[in-house]
Every structure is written in structure tokens, then in C-alpha cells.
Structure 1
Amino acid sequence: MKRPGPLPPARAPQPKAEAPRPPRIMERDAREDDASPDEFVGGGVSGFRRFADRAAHPGTDETPHRGDAAEGRDDRADLGWPDEPDREVGWFDVARASWARRRALRAEARRFTARTRRRRAYWLGSLGAVALLIVGTLAAAYSPLFAVREITVAGADRVDEAAVAAALEDQIGTPMPLVDHSAVQAAMLDFPLVETYRIESRPPHELVVRLVERTPVGVVASAAGYTVVDAAGVALSTTEELPEGQPLIDVTGGTSSDAFAAAGQVLRSLPAGLRGDVAEVTATTPNDVAMTLAESGAEVVWGDAEDSALKALVLERVMADRPTSDASVYDVSSPNAAVVR
């Protein structure tokens, strides 16, 4: 068996390599670079300028050369400093600077809102003009400038125009928008021939009254004589003798009955030539209206008042084909199947 050799000698410990140190950053000289404003507080404007120069040029002990006095004054003008000997900044300077700042802000605000202010002024001016026009128009309309001075009556045939104008004389001198329509209506009640009326204003001073007169349809016999009535049964006039050209209406129930309303509607639907040939109209109910012709005495059976316009047209054609000399009864109660006897 071989004998082992000796152990190798132990190595001496090697010193550890130091880590590379970062490059040293040169610290700024606080005296040179970090100029403190405290050392210039008592210097007023001049001290503030030295502080500003030191801060703008670090690393120097002296402020840069500023030139002569005139150049210094120009620098003051550029920076907005007062052109006066160095002095301490007081409350008046602060207030004046604040006021100048506010004035500049107001000027900028006015510049950026110029379009809005112009638009607002345009709308306010337009609305003011419209309001002024409306107020002026109303003031003129309700003033004596547009008062009623003339009354004109139109559409009168059997009604006396002068009497109607005289009944409305109390409206003369009244502004047109203030015409009393209730008073006009009360005055028109004295004219039974007037069915409807309409008032028109013609500036500056004319008031027009348009009348629609009632249409007489026949005569109703009574103890007082013969009364001319319209289709609504309104009495228009009364005479002792039977008026010519008006048929005698003989219905059950008087002028307020349904039979009279049907007879009046039938008479109004007749053509003018045929209505003048009717001598008498009779009805006991709204469904049995009948007429008697004056010249021939022929009878016309009408029935109810429905389809009166069609029945009138059929009657005219039938009478043209079969005149009253050849017929005594014309039954048009069914207009699609007229009967002549």
C-alpha cells in the first residue's frame, strides 16, 4: 500500500477587491450657487436685482456688469420696475401691481367675450325694437287716432240702413278695439228682419255692419191677420190681407212644432220659380208635408224634409215631362221612384 503524499500548503487570504466608487459629484458652493434672498432683503429694489442676477448666473461672486446708468434704467423699464431711486417695496406698490393685473385680466376677458357681447347686444336690440313696435301699435289702436267716426251698413234690402246706423250712433268716438259688441247686439234686436250680422273695422275711422236678412217662407194666419214668417218661425211682419207671392202655411202645432220646421225646410229648398207657384203648404207631422200649386191646383206629395234638394230637382223634371195640365198629383216622397197621377 502506497503512502499518501503531504497536503498542499494553505494559501494566504487575498484582500477583497474594492467596488468601483462612483464618480464624485462636485457639490455646489452654496455661497456661490444658492444665493439666498435673505442677504438682499434690506436692499430694496437694488437688493432684489442682485438676488435675481446671482440666481441667473451661479458660480460667480459678482453680478454681471450691467453697463451704465442708462442701461440700468432700460432694464428697469423692461422688467416693469419703477424708474426711481432704489427703495423698499411697500403696500402701495403691491396694490398698484394687483390693480394692473386685474385690469389686464379684464381686458383679456373682454377680448375673448367680444363676440358673445355683440350677439347679446344684437338680440337685446331686436327684442327691444319688437317690444317698442308692439307697444306703439297698441297705444295708437286704443287712442282717439283710430276712433269710430263713420258707420256703414251693408247687405240691407228690406231693412232701413239709416235706422240701423242711427241705432249704433253711441259707438261713434269709441276706439275700434273698444267697440261694445253687447250694445250692438242689443240694438240689432230691434230689427227682426236681420238674421245675422258681422262687424268689420276699417281703419282709421270706419265701422262696417254687414247684415244677413231673414228669408220669408210663407204666411201664418192668426187672429191679428196674416203674419209673414221665416223658416225658423220668426215673425217678420203682419198685415190684414194675405200678401202676394207668399204661400199659406197650415201646420199642426203652430210655428214651434216639428211639422212647421219640416215645412219651412222644404220651402227653403224650392227653386225661386217653383216657390212662387206654391199656394199652400200643409203638414200634420214632419213626415207628411204636402203642397198645393196656385195656378192648376195640383198637389205635390213631399213626405219628410230629407233629400229636399233632390226632390226639388226631380219635381222640376217631372213637371217638365208632365205639365200640370196633364197631371193632378206629383208624388216625390221617394225621389228615385216619382209617381205622377
Structure 2
Amino acid sequence: MIQINRRIVSIAGIALFALLTYIIAWSTLFTVSKVVVTGAQQNAMQNLSGVTIGEKLARVEPRAVARKLQEQLWIEGVEVSRNWINGTVTLQITPRKPIGIFAGRFIDKSGTTFDIPGGSSESLPIVEAQTSENGLAAIELFKNIPEKLRTKIVTITAKNADSFELILDEGTRKVLLQWGTNSDLDLKIKVYEALIGLKENSKISTIDVSAPHAPIVK
């Protein structure tokens, strides 16, 4: 009798497991009813994810969907979750934050270059450098310059990691600021502002503050 009961329990367990597998993987229950996207454009991300309405939730593998989306270089991170109660799949997108334009593309703090669909480059400095490392050094300089002067910067050129040039928009003219190394920042700014404000310098096009105690104007 005990063996028969064990067999019945075993068969019932197998049947229950099969039923649950069918319900989760094949029945009309537990299907994707909605895809919610945060941090990016809804339709584009839903299409890229490959997740479709009516698809079985069990077949939506979060890690696989995240890996697929992160093939887009402008995406820094992705979190994918499934709600088994209402059938919602949520895609949380964390886009990279551009801090400049390098080689015609956006560049972020890690040195990764990327394109953003419909992204605007307004207010971002153009960084010219032979390598992304030098580009990042130029961006670091840009971030340390006070906003009053930073908003005038049109281009930053990194000849190497210790030699920089800036082009600034002074309204009626563009001025080349030969900066030198990323040191003595406050002093160099004071020297530049003092020189650019002098009436006799109204027609100069170049200021060299690489040696701030002995600046040169041209």
C-alpha cells in the first residue's frame, strides 16, 4: 500500500510539474502584455530588444535581452525585469553621458566614443587629440575651468597629455589660448582675463599662458 501511495504521489508530482511547465511556457497565461522603457525612446528600444507582445514571459531571458541592447555603444547599462502578475517587461536604460565631441563622435568620462540617435552636440566642446586618453585629459581640463570661461570654449586641442590649446569665442573674434600643461589653472585664468580686457589687446588673436608669469600676446 505504501509503495502504491508513493507511486501515486510521484505520478501526481510529475503531472503537476508538467502542468506548471505548460502554463508558464505554452499557455496563454504568463505572456508579455506590455513593454515599458525608461531612459530611452520606447519604440526603438522595444524593437532592438526583440521582446514582442504576446510572447511567453518564460522565453524572455533578462540577461540575454540586456546583452543585446548593450551592443549599442551609447547605452551604458540595462536592467530588464519581468512582472509575472501583469505580464509587463520593463527595460531600464542608462545612456552614456557625453562630455565632449571627439573625432566627430560623443565621448564620455570613460573615454568611450559613441553616437546618440538624435543627440545634440550643442554646448559640448570639440576635443581634438590623437588618442582618446589625450582627449580625456583635455575634457578634464575643460571640467576644471570655471563656467564663466568654459562657456566661451569652442575647441580644446590636446597635443599630448601635458600640452593644450583652447579656442575661445570672445564675441567679435576667436582667440587662441595656448595653455601648456594642466597646472596653475587659477593663475592662468586670471592672466588671460587681465590680458583680454586690456584696450591695447583688442586686436590680438593669440595669448600664451603656458608660462603664466611671463605671458605672450600676438
Q: TM class by shorter-chain length?
A: 0.5 to 0.7
Displacement after TM superposition at 1:248 (Å): 3.2
Q: 2:78 aligns with which of 187, 193, 197?
A: 197
**1:207 is matched with which residue?**
89
**1:149 is matched with which residue?**
33
RMSD value, Cα: 4.4
**1:290 is matched with which residue?**
165
Displacement after TM superposition at 1:179 (Å): 2.2
Q: Deviations over 1:110-150 (max 9, x none)?
A: xxxxxxxxxxxxxxxxxxxxxxxxxxxxx79x937655422
Matched, 1:167 2:48: yes
Q: 1:280 to 1:321 in 2, by over 3 A?
A: closer
Q: For 1:192 and 1:297, how far apart are their aligned partners in 2? A: 35
Matched, 1:325 2:200: no
5+ residue gaps, structure 1, are 1-138, 221-226
Q: For 2:34 and 2:114, how far apart are their aligned partners in 1? A: 31
5+ residue gaps, structure 2, are 1-19
Structure with larger Rg: 1
* TM-score with structure 2 setting the length: 0.56
Q: Deviations over 1:226-264 (max 9, x none)?
A: x223132414279xxxx654433222x344xx3223223
Matched, 1:266 2:138: no
Q: For 1:213 and 1:271, how far apart are their aligned partners in 2? A: 26
* TM-score with structure 1 setting the length: 0.39
Displacement after TM superposition at 1:163 (Å): 0.7
Q: For 1:317 and 1:270, how far apart are their aligned partners in 2? A: 8
Q: For 2:58 and 2:147, how far apart are their aligned partners in 1? A: 40
Q: For 1:315 and 1:193, how far apart are their aligned partners in 2? A: 37
**2:100 is matched with which residue?**
217
Q: Deviations over 1:258-304 (max 9, x none)?
A: 32232233345556665442112112221223322122515262624
Q: 1:183 to 1:210 in 2, by over 3 A?
A: closer
The total of aligned residue pairs comes to 175
**2:107 is matched with which residue?**
230
Displacement after TM superposition at 1:316 (Å): 11
Amino acid at match of 2:39: G
Q: For 2:195 and 2:213, how far apart are their aligned partners in 1? A: 13
Identity percentage over the alignment? 13
Q: For 1:208 and 1:315, how far apart are their aligned partners in 2? A: 51
* Greater share of strand: 2
**1:303 is matched with which residue?**
181
Q: For 1:174 and 1:267, how far apart are their aligned partners in 2? A: 50
Pairing of 1:96-135 with structure 2 (within 5 A): none
Displacement after TM superposition at 1:164 (Å): 0.7
Higher relative contact order (CA 8 A, sep 6+): 2
Displacement after TM superposition at 1:219 (Å): 4.2
* Greater share of helix: 1
